[in-house]
A and B are shown apart, each in its own frame.
Chain A
Amino acid sequence: MVGIVVISHSRTLAEGVAEVARAMGVGKAVVEPAGGDSEGGLGTSVDLVEGAVAAADGGDGVLLLADLGSSVLTAKMLIEDTDGGDVLLADAPLVEGAVAAASMAAAGADLAAVHAAAESAYDHRKTR
């Protein structure tokens, strides 16, 4: 199954988004949070993100979702470093993207489909 990593500046935000996404993935989706800096404060820790990617990787690839700023840059840098093609960053809103990705991953879809599902989250408008 494709694994999902939620990267946020906040540990509790990452954990909360992972909690919601796991529930939407009917308990089957593998969603790992990577929130905050290495001391538990606000920020981004590349070590925490690498650990979460390793934990989420079941062999079918890993999709990253990131909130903003350093989370996004850290995700992109990590993908550049791994250059294997089995870790992707979704250009998607954090919560909606994680939920869409978890739903698709739980259905057994491959990384490309999970990535596309997360990015399609932008199309789910709320007031129109």
Chain B
Amino acid sequence: MNASSMNAGSMKAGDAVSWIRHAAELVAADADRLTRLDAAIGDGDHGLNLDRGFRAATEALSGEASPGDVPPGKVLIAAGRAIVSKTGGASGPLYGTALRRAGKALGDTADVDAAALGAALRAALEGVQDLGKAAEGDKTMIDALAPAVAAYEAALADGADLPGCVSVAAGAAAEGADATVPMQARKGRASYLGARSIGHMDPGASSTALILRALSDVVAADAASGEG
């Protein structure tokens, strides 16, 4: 297993695989909560759909004979493709596009440094915005992803290493998800509810926070094992 191959400064293919696997675990563990959030203001299938999508992504990656030899970008593109094809709801194209754009931004680089990962996260954000046309404040996954990318870039500019940047980004995503509670939805099914969408956390922002926490967990575990 190559998960421990990452030092504090870079991300390798095994780490990208570990990220998707851990994201799948967190989504599966929280699927009921995500579905309940979605039942309040959406169509009540977010946890179910995303669980199916990330399960498919994990299966697609397990097909790789030796994931350690595949560049992280290719891992993310393969995961994104599986998520697009199996998720079923709006989160399929959105998360699929996010992962594929991030993967394209990484290209064939075998060792992804903090700056490259930041650029990939920025590409993911832009991909989601291109597709869904949502802005910050619309009560969507953008409200978690945009502050996460901004926090990552700020940490990077302050000289933080890769685990430091990811940790800050995951924290900002969680805060961003919490901040969707008082918002009125302007995109998606929840927007039909008008003011009645106020008072509920956006399920997409919540799952975005989970997925970035998965990245942070994997990166932190790796950094710790690298030091120890």
Residues of A within 8 A of B (CB): 37-38, 43-47, 69-70, 73-74, 76-77, 80
Assuming the contacts A69-B188, A69-B189, asked whether A74 and B93 have C-beta atoms less than 8 A apart, the reply is yes
Chain A contact residues, majority secondary structure? helix
Interface residues on B, range: 10 to 19
Smallest Cβ distance from A37 to chain B, in angstroms?
A: 5
Contact with A along B65-93 (1 / 0, CB 8 A): 00000000000000000001100111111
Smallest Cβ distance from A68 to chain B, in angstroms?
A: 8
Residues of A with C-beta under 8 A to B96? 77
Residues of A with C-beta under 8 A to B88? 37-38, 43-45, 70
Smallest Cβ distance from A75 to chain B, in angstroms?
A: 9
B89 CB contact (under 8 Å) in A69, A76, A77, A80: A69
Most buried by A among B84, B130, B189: B84
Contact with A along B161-196 (1 / 0, CB 8 A): 000000000000000000000000000110000000
Residues of A with C-beta under 8 A to B93? 46, 70, 73-74, 76-77
Residues of A with C-beta under 8 A to B90? 69-70, 73
B18 lies within 8 A of chain A by Cβ: no
Contact between A73 and B85, CB atoms less than 8 A apart: no
Contact between A74 and B92, CB atoms less than 8 A apart: yes
Q: A43-B49, A74-B92, A80-B97 are in contact. List 7 more A-B contacts (CB 8 A).
A: A46-B84, A69-B89, A69-B90, A70-B91, A74-B93, A77-B96, A80-B131
Residues of B with C-beta under 8 A to A70? 88-93
B132 lies within 8 A of chain A by Cβ: yes
* Chain A: CB-nearest residue to B92: A70
In the assembled complex, the Cα of A36 lies from the Cα of B131 at a distance in Å of 21
Smallest Cβ distance from A35 to chain B, in angstroms?
A: 13
Contact between A77 and B131, CB atoms less than 8 A apart: yes
Most buried by B among A37, A43, A44, A70: A70
B94 lies within 8 A of chain A by Cβ: yes
Smallest Cβ distance from A10 to chain B, in angstroms?
A: 13
Contact between B84 and A77, CB atoms less than 8 A apart: yes
Contact between B85 and A43, CB atoms less than 8 A apart: no
Could you give 29 example pairs across A and B, Cβ below 8 Å?
A: A37-B88, A43-B49, A43-B88, A43-B89, A44-B88, A44-B89, A44-B92, A46-B85, A46-B92, A46-B93, A47-B85, A69-B89, A69-B90, A69-B188, A69-B189, A70-B88, A70-B91, A70-B93, A73-B90, A73-B92, A73-B93, A73-B131, A74-B93, A76-B93, A76-B131, A77-B84, A77-B96, A77-B131, A80-B131
